[in-house]
């Protein structure tokens, strides 16, 4: 470890808030993950796209999260703000407050000038029905939409606070208000790379001395009318007609695409000194993180991000106990990721344990990386690696040591978490548990 790295404060993870297709709350999430539970299936509660739903569609839905759950964890004097939160924001703010509670962080005693927020999100859209009155008010006598009427007759029918429901920076704004965070605050919108980017930036904020505590997380609600349509147009959507619940198949030879999902996950990060001074339970340490963007070359972007994350942490490939892979379940994306792992790890690429939790939860985009990292972080508390489900026949072209079946025991209590986008934006973080 370099002198510069040894002089930087260790950054402890003291709380985690999880809202996922396999459980809401830390305990439920871990219990279901460790037992191989599956959160993929027919979408019944949130999606109302009717005929726009792609034929043959499965998703990772959270039926046990709604506005009531959000209100139960949001500060009582702030619950009125629920009315200006879409589902993405509700999940994000709820997971953040769950993380605060999990960390046992007393917000009455912290130095609020030294508390900051870093939060990832996707673009957010209103449901089509919210524009009904405005659009109908712009029709001519023949039922045709007249754009010239929008400014005077259409926009006047819009809900006054409509925009506040769908701005991707609003999770960070609401969370900052809830905990009275007056330190650095930022929002990240880099699709699947967002989770690790938010953690990496929060790590940097603490290490450069600008904050003692950071709330870092991400949220993503892809089971939305427009987002599902976009996914069907832009992405390779996976579906298994014989078993729709097994439609997400990371690194499996029969994989045929990703599964859209929703979720949110947040962490409390603190300097080790701050955490120990208040007697916090330290779950692990965020050792390093980095990112790379190589347009059209996911393999190189992932390899770059992994190498940079290891340098940031002052570690080598031999120090990593397992990899929590992006594991999208798409044919080319999984192969590119596997090739990147071999590029970086060399001969160990076929030996290091790899888990991919999208088989159980699907792809919630911005939130996916944090949810997957939570699986490894909680598993390492028990000295194990969480299993991948639905990888029944690992693809020999990927040549990875996939953890399947039961959680696998591990002596090396460290994890490399990797995520990337279809455009070649990649991010990685390293977490260690003492």
- Phi and psi for 20 in degrees, rounded to 5? -140, 165
Q: Let me know whether 345 and 273 are in one domain.
A: yes
Q: Is residue 370 part of a domain?
A: yes
Q: Let me know whether 355 and 367 are in one domain.
A: yes
- Whether the Cβ atoms of residue 288 and residue 310 lie closer than 8 Å to each other: yes
Q: Which stretches of the chain drop beneath a pLDDT of 70?
A: 1-6, 45-56
- Domain final position from 157, 174, 208: 157
Q: Is residue 265 part of a domain?
A: yes
Q: Let me know whether 120 and 138 are in one domain.
A: no
Q: Let me know whether 66 and 86 are in one domain.
A: yes
Q: Let me know whether 68 and 38 are in one domain.
A: yes
Q: Is residue 132 part of a domain?
A: yes
CA distance 84 to 78: 11
The domain in which residue 235 lies consists of 8-125+166-432
Could you tell me where the beta strands, DSSP code E, fall in 236-370?
Answer: 262-271, 284-293, 322-324, 353-355
Q: Is residue 365 part of a domain?
A: yes
Q: Is residue 75 part of a domain?
A: yes
Q: Let me know whether 289 and 349 are in one domain.
A: yes
Q: Let me know whether 152 and 252 are in one domain.
A: no
Q: Is residue 1 part of a domain?
A: no
Which residues 6+ apart lie within 8 Å of 4 measured at CB?
none
Q: Let me know whether 99 and 135 are in one domain.
A: no
- Domain final position from 136, 157, 178: 157
Q: Let me know whether 173 and 227 are in one domain.
A: yes
Start-to-end Cα distance in the chain: 17
323 pairs with which residues across the strands?
Answer: 354, 416
CA distance 162 to 125: 11
CA distance 422 to 424: 6
Q: Let me know whether 117 and 35 are in one domain.
A: yes
CA distance 176 to 118: 10
- Whether the Cβ atoms of residue 92 and residue 217 lie closer than 8 Å to each other: yes
Q: Is residue 2 part of a domain?
A: no
Q: Is residue 182 part of a domain?
A: yes
Q: Let me know whether 64 and 210 are in one domain.
A: yes
Number of structural domains in the chain: 2
CA distance 306 to 292: 9
Q: Let me know whether 178 and 138 are in one domain.
A: no
Which CATH number do you get for residue 174?
3.40.47.10
265 dihedral zone (left: phi>0; alpha: psi -120 to 50; beta): beta
3-state secondary structure of 213: strand
């Amino acid at each position: 470890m370099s002198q510069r790295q040894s002089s930087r404060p260790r950054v402890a993870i003291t709380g985690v808030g999880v809202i996922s297709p396999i459980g809401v709350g830390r305990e439920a999430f871990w219990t279901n993950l460790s037992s191989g539970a599956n959160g993929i299936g027919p979408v019944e509660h949130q999606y109302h796209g009717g005929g726009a739903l792609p034929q043959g569609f499965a998703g990772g839905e959270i039926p046990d999260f709604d506005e009531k759950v959000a209100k139960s964890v949001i500060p009582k004097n702030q619950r009125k703000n629920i009315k200006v939160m879409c589902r993405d924001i509700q999940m994000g703010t709820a997971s953040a407050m769950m993380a605060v509670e999990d960390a046992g962080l007393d917000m009455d005693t912290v130095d609020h000038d030294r508390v900051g927020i870093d939060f990832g999100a996707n673009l957010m859209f209103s449901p089509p029905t919210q524009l009904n009155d405005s659009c109908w008010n712009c029709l001519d006598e023949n039922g045709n939409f007249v754009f010239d009427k929008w400014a005077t007759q259409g926009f006047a029918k819009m809900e006054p606070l409509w925009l506040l429901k769908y701005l991707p920076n609003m999770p960070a704004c609401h969370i900052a208000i809830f905990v009275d965070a007056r330190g650095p605050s930022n929002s990240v919108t880099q699709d699947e790379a967002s989770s690790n980017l938010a953690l990496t930036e929060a790590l940097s904020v603490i290490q450069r001395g600008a904050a003692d505590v950071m709330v870092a997380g991400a949220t993503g609600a892809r089971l939305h009318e427009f987002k599902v349509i976009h996914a069907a147009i832009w992405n390779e959507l996976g579906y298994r007609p014989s078993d729709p619940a097994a439609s997400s198949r990371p690194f499996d030879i029969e994989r045929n695409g990703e599964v859209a999902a929703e979720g949110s996950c947040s962490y409390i990060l603190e300097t080790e000194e701050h955490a120990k001074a208040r007697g916090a339970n330290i779950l692990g340490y965020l050792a390093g993180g980095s990112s790379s963007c190589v347009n059209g070359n996911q393999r190189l972007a992932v390899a770059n991000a992994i190498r940079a994350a290891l340098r940031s942490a002052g570690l080598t490939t031999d120090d990593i106990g397992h990899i929590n892979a992006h594991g999208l379940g798409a044919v080319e994306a999984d192969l590119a990721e596997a090739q990147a792992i071999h590029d970086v790890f060399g001969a160990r690429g076929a030996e290091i344990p790899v888990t991919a939790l999208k088989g159980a939860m699907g792809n919630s985009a911005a939130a996916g990386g944090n949810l997957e990292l939570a699986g490894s972080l909680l598993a390492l508390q028990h000295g194990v690696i969480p299993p991948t489900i639905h990888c029944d026949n690992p693809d020999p072209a990927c040549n990875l040591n996939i953890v399947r079946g039961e959680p696998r025991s591990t002596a090396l209590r460290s994890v490399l978490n990797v995520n990337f986008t279809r455009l070649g934006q990649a991010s990685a973080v390293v977490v260690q548990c003492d």
